[in-house]
């Protein structure tokens, strides 16, 4: 099951995150020939400035 995770430095509205998740999921499904219903997209806010 594909899982896409994005960490942002800024705070975004729920509507903005939902729109981005749907758009990224659709792009991923198209290019990877995957079922869009099986893709999970998580968008979170990074609270520290450290990169791992």
Q: What is the mean pLDDT of residues 43-47?
A: 85
What is this structure's pTM?
A: 0.80
How many whole angstroms separate alpha carbon 34 and alpha carbon 17? 21
Instruction: Name which of 46, 3, 33 is nearest 21 in CA terms.
Output: 3
For residue 50, pLDDT beyond 70: no
- Mention the CATH class of domain 3-45: alpha beta
Domain borders along the chain are: 3-45
**DSSP string covering 28-49:** HHHHHT--GGG-EEEEEE--SS
Q: What is the mean pLDDT of residues 4-8?
A: 93
Higher-confidence position of 45 and 28: 28
Cβ atoms within 10 Å, residue 6: 13
For residue 52, pLDDT beyond 70: no
């Amino acid at each position: 099951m594909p899982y896409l995770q994005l960490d942002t430095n800024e705070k975004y509205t729920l509507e903005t995150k939902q729109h981005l998740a749907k758009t990224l999921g659709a792009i991923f499904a198209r290019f990877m020939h995957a079922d869009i219903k099986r893709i999970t997209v998580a968008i979170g806010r990074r609270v520290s400035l450290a990169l791992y």
